Amino acid sequence: MNRLKPWIRSLFNRETLREDAVAGLVLGVESVPDGLAGGLLAGVNPVFGLYGYMVGTVTGGLFTSATFMAVQATGAMAIVVADVSVVHSGENPERALFTLAVLTGVVMGVAGFFKLGSLLRWVSNSVMVGFINAVGVNIVLGQLDNFSGYEAEGANRVVRALNLLFNLGQAYWPSMLIGAATIVLIIVLEKTRLGPLGMVVAIIVTSIVVPIVGWDVQQLRDITEIPGSLPFPVWPDLRLIPTLLIPAAALAFVGLVQGAGISANFPNPDGEFPDASQDFVGQGAANVAAGLFQGMPVGGSMSASSLVKAAGARSKAAMLIAGVVMAVSILALGDVVGFIAMPALAGLLMVVGYRTVKPGDIKAVWRTGNTQAVVMAVTFVLTMIIPLQNAVLAGIGISLILFVIKQSNRITVRRWIVKEDGRLREVEAPTEVGPNEVIVLQPYGSLFFASAPLFEEELPNVTDASTNSVVIVRLRGKTDLGSTFMEVLSRYASSLFEVDSRLVLVYADKRVHDQLVATGVADLLGPENIYTSDEWVGSTVVRAHEDATVWINEHLPGEE
């Protein structure tokens, strides 16, 4: 019971109930048209978007550790759903959508349970900037049909946009006028005291104009029936799991990346930052619940989280109140919602898409370097022309390749000069091993298989004149070298032995020792040439240097 008290206090605080009620009302009212627009963007029944918003907001509020995280459908996730063919065709596309949401939740929950948030750092900023900005452009292009009243043809959104451009004369100008008026009103009204509610007012105003002037503009009720009831549970179709696994993984990745941004940027009221892994679990639970109650996949929404915090939320009660407001809207205003003009929703989404594009981020990556610029551009192009679930996986692959390239080219080998008083001085490594000298080498960078050849190139060359010398390689801090690196050490040790010199290793990690033994390098070097570091940094190197100096003196010409 004692463990439940902090959780209950995070859900309900009598002292902040008024602020939470206002914030919940604002989020709930704004989420009705936004949820419908999310479903429209995903190419599914807009009602499923509204259901996803309602169930996701409530469930996410119950299970995430972030007070201000609003778990709703995001533009990026909706675009991914729009590219999943089985959700739009097949025997039962609706069941496929709900199954996709549940499966996405399972993947998110597993990521949170096993604390896999650290894996997100493998995705470079250049990939995310390219992906997110392409999503913004895709959102705008994807709404041109509803905005113009012309159903364009083409394999992807870019081709369909070009098709509309070449057939602009077939566009329905009243539809375009309603969409344009909605965009203008949203921008103007958001600058007034209405704030975020200006979006709701803009859609209401332009939708009312349609029946008044008698224009034949498509309305929400023309494409779907708006039920005046809450959703009933629907069991997922387990047969579709193999087909939906990759899209679910892509959706989970996108949702978790966006959710991690919220966790890192919105501290809780007590000043502590949320637990990212628990937020993963919470988003997973929200997706499972959304799928079971006829909703589309959801994730942490930065815009909705910013809105509820700016509206004065103080606890998670704001999320629960927002869910109640959405439920009441569905029950009481179902018939009214059907009169929303489709170009108005398209205008709303085009504003969202435009605001998703961040020119400043693009410029920052472009100025960082040619490699980052190319990666960003490739990710952007791929996201525009191939299904987004594949683009997400391609982005991850690009990030991994970029990481390997960077790490394999970040190897530097420096020489440590050991002074008589035990102090260490770092200088450039020599190009060759001279006779009768001790060389202490300190490599910097990641010593994995791809960087091993570069490390080998950085080592001083062994010549016929490199006799009676000792090369000491300090590997303190290295925990996993691998067989490729062991081969480099073996070759270098052999070349030194051929000219009556030695290779000495200094390290602290037991795993490195085990790898040396397993690959036979330890036997090649001999126990006298292996030093295990202690807690005093540099002391083992000094000791190895002293022993090497004694060995060299003992083997000088003329010495017995």
Q: 44 in the Ramachandran plot: left (φ > 0), alpha (ψ -120 to 50) or beta?
A: beta
Residue 540 has pLDDT above 50, yes or no: yes
Quick check: is 401 in a domain? no
Residue 4 has pLDDT above 60, yes or no: no
Quick check: is 298 in a domain? yes
Q: What is the pLDDT of residue 2?
A: 47
Q: What is the pLDDT of residues 241-264, one digit of tens each?
A: 999 998 998 898 888 877 877 776
The region of weakest confidence among 73-77, 230-234, 439-443 is: 73-77
| Residue 147 to residue 165: CA distance in whole angstroms | 13
Question: Within this chain, do residues 103 and 158 fall inside the same structural domain, yes or no?
Answer: yes
Shortest CA distance to 548 belongs to which of 473, 476, 486, 494? 473
Q: Indicate the pLDDT class of residue 414, thresholds 50, 70 and 90.
A: very high
Number of domains observed in the structure of the chain: 2
- Strand-pairing partners, residue 471, are 439, 503
Question: Within this chain, do residues 254 and 330 fall inside the same structural domain, yes or no?
Answer: yes
Q: 515 in the Ramachandran plot: left (φ > 0), alpha (ψ -120 to 50) or beta?
A: alpha
Question: Within this chain, do residues 388 and 467 fall inside the same structural domain, yes or no?
Answer: no
| Residue 300 to residue 72: CA distance in whole angstroms | 6
Question: Within this chain, do residues 184 and 61 fall inside the same structural domain, yes or no?
Answer: yes
Residue 48 has pLDDT above 90, yes or no: yes
Question: Within this chain, do residues 344 and 430 fall inside the same structural domain, yes or no?
Answer: no
Q: What's the longest Cα–Cα distance across the chain?
A: 112
Quick check: is 351 in a domain? yes
**DSSP 8-state symbol, 336:** H
Question: Within this chain, do residues 262 and 388 fall inside the same structural domain, yes or no?
Answer: yes
From 392, 423, 457, give the residue that closes a domain.
Answer: 392
- Strand-pairing partners, residue 72, are 299
Q: Indicate the pLDDT class of residue 118, thresholds 50, 70 and 90.
A: low
Q: What is the pLDDT of residue 1?
A: 45
- Any idea what the CATH number is for the domain that residue 474 is in? 3.30.750.24
Q: What is the pLDDT of residue 120?
A: 64
Quick check: is 94 in a domain? yes
For 404-419, what is the mean pLDDT? Answer: 80
Question: Within this chain, do residues 207 and 236 fall inside the same structural domain, yes or no?
Answer: yes
DSSP letter string over 162-210? HHHHHTGGGS-HHHHHHHHHHHHHHHHHTTSTTTTHHHHHHHHHHHHHH
Residue where the block lists tokens 């002074």: 419
Question: Within this chain, do residues 384 and 431 fall inside the same structural domain, yes or no?
Answer: no
From 358, 392, 426, give the residue that closes a domain.
Answer: 392
Tokens of 503: 């290779």
Question: Within this chain, do residues 136 and 228 fall inside the same structural domain, yes or no?
Answer: yes
Question: Within this chain, do residues 145 and 277 fall inside the same structural domain, yes or no?
Answer: yes
Residue 456 burial by Cβ neighbours in a 10 Å radius (0-12, 13-18, 19+): middle
Q: What is the pLDDT of residues 275-311, one digit of tens each?
A: 878 888 999 999 999 999 999 999 988 778 887 887 7
CA 202 to centroid of chain Cα atoms: 33
Q: What is the pLDDT of residues 15-26, one digit of tens each?
A: 778 888 888 888
More confident residue, 117 or 435: 435
Q: What is the pLDDT of residue 453?
A: 84
Quick check: is 128 in a domain? yes
| Residue 27 to residue 252: CA distance in whole angstroms | 24
Contact 225, 94 (CB under 8 A): no
Quick check: is 12 in a domain? no
Quick check: is 405 in a domain? no
Question: Within this chain, do residues 320 and 435 fall inside the same structural domain, yes or no?
Answer: no
Contact 339, 221 (CB under 8 A): yes
Contact 440, 416 (CB under 8 A): yes
Question: Within this chain, do residues 416 and 375 fall inside the same structural domain, yes or no?
Answer: no
Quick check: is 14 in a domain? no
Domain that holds residue 100: 32-392
Q: What is the pLDDT of residue 558?
A: 59
From 338, 364, 392, give the residue that closes a domain.
Answer: 392
Residue 404 has pLDDT above 50, yes or no: yes
